[in-house]
Amino acid sequence: MNHTTTPYSFEFDNRFVSNPILLELFRNMLKSRMIEEKMLILLRQGKISKWFSGIGQEAISVGVTMALQPDEYILPMHRNLGVFTTRKIPLNRLFSQWQGKASGFTKGRDRSFHFGTQEYKIVGMISHLGPQLGVADGIALAHKLRKEAKVTAVFTGEGGTSEGDFHEALNIASVWDLPVLFCVENNGYGLSTPINEQFNCKNIADKGIGYGMEAHIIEGNNVLEVYTKVNEIAKSVRENPRPVLLEFKTFRMRGHEEASGTKYVPDELLNEWATKDPISNYSKFLNDEGILTKDIETYYKDSIQAEIDENLQISYAENSIVSDETNELNDVYYDAVNKLFKDSESKNNIRYIDAVSEGLKQSLEKHDNLIVMGQDIAEYGGVFKITEGFVEQFGKDRIRNTPICESGIVATAMGLSINKMKAVVEMQFSDFVSSGFNPIVNYLAKSYYRWEQNADVVIRLPCGGGVGAGPFHSQTNEAWFTKVPGLKVVYPAFPQDAKGLLIAAINDPNPVMFFEHKALYRNVYQDVSDNYFDIELGIASVIKEGKDVSIITYGMGVHWALEVLEAHKDISVELIDLRTLSPLDTKMIYSSVKKTGKALILQEDTLFGGISSDISALIMENCFEYLDAPVKRVASLETPIPFAKSLENQFLAKSRLEKELLNLLSY
């Protein structure tokens, strides 16, 4: 019998699947189920802290994973244990991961399935579910650009399809014809919220129509249907790259996580789906076909149980992690030694905007794996024309116009990095980075600390006021990011620094937020080295030496300070341009303040919560005995940035700088 509908809950069609594959599908599902059953016992014993059960959904994880090639990336979620076990990750490492031990994948820094491993081509989830969909786009884009016939599979649940990241990722994949399988496990409930309160269409697959995307509905509890259909689709996508939306109909037989329970689920629904258990139905089919014998099944169970017991003992024997502050701090950033490229004596007098453009162009010439993405950056050249002419030189594969979807594009950049590429993302205005905030602070910033995956991504942010652009095009929002461990923040004031620091940021394998003040673009000129050179991140610059007071600032603040000092040439001021806000050059700050005894910290950002507050605190903690006056902070008004020129002038810190400096000097 090869094609039958009775007496099972599904139609099993094994006409095109060999017996060894049929048995491997069963063994992989069984292994996942037996591990879960053991973990539920350990959870009750307090030996693991949390568990998200995939019991009843094993067919999806196992079928999809077996349909993919071993070197194709999979991005699973917390109910996809079968992905990890089918990829043959050593069980002792999984068990140690769940116990927070060192031989797990996150050194005790994250739990559950919140991890990835390049060795097994698995990219783990974060609790903010949506970004991993865009990460899959980036991984697939890298394959497509290298003309590699590979697919990427990414999982989400029916609840995750309500997130904006889902729509952004599908739209990007569709517009760019990316070879991504978007695997949606429709298991009936997002925690306790049923699907009729999540979306109003009949099927999740129907959403594919809106993106011009091929979509399929697959019986998620039928491992043969999952494997054969995904295998067929994956082969087609490798030959003809495109995204495909796959809805797997299934059910979650236990709570969202074990503490949640299932009281909100009607008993008749649980009973109905219990009859559709993927393992019992499939094993009965294999037995009836004479493919799975009692002896084989007994052997599988015994060998799996022995593997579980043996690897649990290995994990139990491992010592608990010993806290080491140095190790923790050293693992926030990927510590790569970059070669420093010296600036040349040959220079051209160019504008700030030209220096940024030149640094980006020379970086594209240097790194053939560098991709630049942003709204209107291709033929149009970007709203500030920084990438004008780039398409003609580098082509649209590398200079990519994006849809208006900041979150999805930041996640795509992360995926490019995972798949051995470099990415620069241009935010049209720094204000718009709020729409991409989640993947920046929760994915890019934390991935290296969590599972040693660096984010080789630079986010360029045209920022700042003084141009009458109002509340949504004038913010200087660097303080949103200086607080986040794992991000580097750069904010140059001069063209030479803008070019050298941008090249350094692109060479740095960590995520870098690169702020460029719009009002400086076409108003500041400087002799800039014409070669490919970089300036080390984290090193401040002394613009003027002095002995009476230290002014510590960055970006437009440097130019405001120079303007005031030009009117007060009798004052001996040491002017420090920070250039990089994270990492911060505290050594130079302390040295200057100890010399002058007075410190004024100037920022264009509003006062409360800005970086000047932290610098002030650092000075008080480390230089208190050298101070002859309280540390003074000068910043913009505690309001959104107004449009009218008179209101904006009053808002900006520049209007108060001279008065506050003179008051500090006379203290």
**What is the per-residue pLDDT across 190-237, written as a single tens digit (0 to 9) for each?**
777 777 777 888 899 999 999 999 999 999 999 999 999 999 999 999
State the CB neighbour count (10 A cutoff) for residue 351.
Answer: 18
**Residue 1 has what pLDDT?**
46
Candidates 137, 131, 188, 120; CA nearest to 158 is: 188
Q: Which of 78, 114, 256, 473 is catalytic?
A: 473
Examine the pLDDT at 6 and tell me if it is beyond 60: no
**Mean pLDDT across the chain, nearest whole number?**
93
| DSSP category for residue 645 | H
Examine the pLDDT at 298 and tell me if it is beyond 80: yes
**What's the rounded mean pLDDT across residues 630-654?**
93
Residue 464 gets the label, from left (phi > 0), alpha (psi -120 to 50) or beta, of: left
| DSSP category for residue 393 | H
**What's the rounded mean pLDDT across residues 98-104?**
91
pLDDT band with cut points at 50, 70 and 90 for residue 146:
very high
pLDDT, tens only, 410-457: 999 999 999 999 999 999 989 999 999 999 999 999 999 999 999 999
Give whole-number Cα distances, 649 to 429, 602, 658, in Å.
Answer: 20, 16, 14
**What's the rounded mean pLDDT across residues 586-615?**
97
| DSSP category for residue 47 | S
| DSSP category for residue 582 | E
**What's the rounded mean pLDDT across residues 286-312?**
96
**Residue 4 has what pLDDT?**
56
Instruction: Please report, as a single letter, which amino acid is at residue 651.
Output: F
Based on the residue annotation, tell me whether 128 is a catalytic residue of this protein.
no
State the CB neighbour count (10 A cutoff) for residue 545.
Answer: 12
**What's the rounded mean pLDDT across residues 533-557?**
97
Candidates 167, 95, 599; CA nearest to 314 is: 95
pLDDT band with cut points at 50, 70 and 90 for residue 2:
low
SS3 360: helix
**What's the rounded mean pLDDT across residues 567-585?**
97
Whole-number percent of the chain with pLDDT over 70: 99
**What's the rounded mean pLDDT across residues 99-104?**
92
Largest pairwise CA distance in the chain: 99
Whole-number percent of the chain with pLDDT over 90: 82
Does residue 79 or residue 307 have the better pLDDT? 307
The 3-class SS string of 587-642 reads HHHHHHHHHHCCEEEEEEEECCCCHHHHHHHHHHHHHHHHCCCCCEEEEECCCCCC
